[in-house]
Amino acid sequence: MSSCNAQTSRGQPCRSQARLNSEFCFFHDPASRRHRREAQRKGGSKRSPPQLVPDPPPDDFDFSDPKQIKELLSYAANRVVRGELDPKCAYALSSLADSAIRADAAITAAERLERLQPKKSPPTGRLDFRKLDSQEFEIYKALTEKATVPFEQP
């Protein structure tokens, strides 16, 4: 097989192999122009990225509802499989859903902790010695006498 006799757009000789019964390669052969245009059109449509969200869902998703998060991920996964949604967009959606789940868990934990902690009454300005344990009383006594605070030895 011989090399293509055409020159590249830079003026260099084309290094592709010539087609059978032609002195040009597929890209330079005037007889293959129609086929070349069709191949370029098909290749271009295959390389075009899918739309980010071609058919957005009718309502906004509530990221605090695990059921709706599952629906969102199913929606995204189905469209990625069909080639209707860019996988990068689906990855971003899954990352947002994961962050929402973690934030919801942190809020729930903080609320539970707040409910479990005993409520303290507002200070009255006077110290109620009956509510102090022995160590707290010793610390109070030491502070009021301008002495050092006793610490337990480990």
DSSP string, 2-34: PBP--B-TTSPBP-SBPPTTSSS-TTT-GGGHH
pLDDT at 110: 79
Amino acid at 81: V
| pLDDT at site 44 | 59
Taking the C-alpha atoms of residue 154 and residue 152, their distance in angstroms, rounded to an integer, is: 6
Q: What tens-digit pLDDT sequence spans the chain (154 residues)?
A: 688 888 888 889 998 898 888 898 988 888 888 888 888 777 655 555 555 555 666 577 778 888 888 888 898 888 888 888 888 888 988 998 898 888 888 888 878 777 766 666 555 556 666 666 676 767 666 666 654 445 555 4
**Separation between Cα atoms, residue 54 and residue 84, nearest integer Å:** 7
- Give me the pLDDT at residue 9, please: 86
